[in-house]
Amino acid sequence: MATLSAPTSSALKSSHRTRGHSAMDFKSATTGVAAKSMKNELNKMASDIKDPANKRIFDAQMSSFFNLFNRYLAERAKAEKLDWDSVKSPTEEMVVPYASLKDDIDVSILNKIAVLKLNGGLGTTMGMGGLPKSALEVRDGMTFLDLSVRQIEHLNEKYKVNVPFILMNSFNTDDDTQRIIQKYANHNIQILTFNQSRHPRINKDSLLPVARSAVSDKAQWYPPGHGDIFDALSDSGLLDKLIQAGKEYIFVSNVDNLGADVDLKILGHLVESGTEFLMELTDKTKADVKGGTIIDYNGHVRLLEIAQVPKEHVEDFKSVRKFKYFNTNSVYISLPAIKRIMEEEDGFELDIIVNNKSMDDGTPVVQLETAVGAAIKHFNNAHGINVPRSRFLPVKSCSDLLLVTSDLYSLEHGKLVMNPNRMFNQTPVVKLGDTFKKIGNFQKRFGSIPNILELDHLTVSGDVWFGKNITLRGTVIIVANEGNRIDLPDGSILENKLVSGN
């Protein structure tokens, strides 16, 4: 079997493909001028790059960006909306229950898979400054990356296989990530990294790139969403290297989803069903109504995000009855199928997510992004699998962090396992207020993480401080009035309590 090596800049190949250009119909002169002006600006930036390797990288990324920008202009000119009457609940064939999967699995299938974590995000919202979110300590002094590495290392040791661990970084996270992963040099794991693309932010008024140079400030660029994985894998040369090394599937998930580990039953179904794309779905709750879901659209499986839904149908989209599941963003994809679509079928045309932002100086900008789940429409026999909630354990906030650091879970080979003494499978609902939003404040305000084994709901608002060895049960609401402070003494037991005032 071929040995995998990290992709290099010399392995880059241009991603310039004609992808659906014949279908583009610029209905106004303004749209055509915008496309030409954008192309001129990108060419100017490219002409200033002297290093051939860097120029290849830039050209490949700007080709992908320009294709996205062209499609954005065309869609904006057409102003077509989703036909809501064609949106149906997924059929039974489109969603397979996890409980129906076989248990007797040939573990040799592990040799066919690579594991990829999406590692492009910073921990800014949780107060981590400019560090990658994957560097956040989440349990027993271990970071997201530590836990992922431990899981893969255990898999390799237990089954005597070689599952490579891949990180898709962004220009925001790559430097720090390269330093961090050096500590795994002596571990039983092969770690590969590559970067997703870097696209220029678009001035909303002029429809021109904010950046005037390829080396402009980082704030003028953005990573274009995880749908960029296909271009980035191909352009880096890693797609070909994985296939040459005998890998047939790639398991992709968010680095901050602590429930997304390699599951043999799912792998067995992946191989046996012959699917080219498998999406993990879990049951929707009231907390998940805004999450993307798969639908039956004119007889075809599609991913539907709330941003695509006409305003008058948003409440229908949120319905737990019509759309029972939501997308966890954990997907399994056939590597040969990616290569076929990229090279023989004009590539991927993923639904564009228009993300309106503002620069620090107030300049309104547009970011054009795509999601990996939207690629489901391009693959043969693609479908979803309804997995247990335990496979979706994201840490997006300090409220989530409280759950995963508590006595609700224990750690086994890098995987969080629910405490068997928990009477209910569902995790408690935790809502910590703004005073707990940043990781530094969160850590200061807890003398120790409370015992929440019997907790159903916790809401905390205002200037609240927790002592050590506190137990919370049932529904607990703690509200410190403005200007007041609440200190909960060591050893407190709060059961179905409302605490307010000071």
Active site residue 431: no
Q: For 45-59, b where at least 16 C-beta lie within 10 A, e where not — what string?
A: beeebeeeeeebbbb
- Say which residues have a Cβ less than 8 Å from residue 154's Cβ, sequence separation at least 6: 413, 414
User: Residues 457, 478: contact at Cβ < 8 Å?
Assistant: no
Angle, CA of 365, 368 and 369, to the nearest 5° = 130
471 to 109, 202, 251, 294, 494: CA distances (angstroms): 45, 50, 38, 40, 6
Two tokens, residue 222: 């953005």
- Say which residues have a Cβ less than 8 Å from residue 369's Cβ, sequence separation at least 6: 222, 224, 225, 227, 352, 353, 354, 355
Give the separation between CA 404 and CA 107, rounded to whole angstroms: 29
Least Cα distance to 189 among 220, 217, 165 occurs for: 165
Q: Among the options 396, 431, 437, 497, which is catalytic?
A: 396
Angle, CA of 492, 435 and 446, to the nearest 5° = 35
Two tokens, residue 315: 């409440």
DSSP 442: H
Give the separation between CA 12 and CA 331, rounded to whole angstroms: 25
Give the separation between CA 248 and CA 270, rounded to whole angstroms: 11
Two tokens, residue 131: 């560090």
Catalytic sites, residue numbers:
396
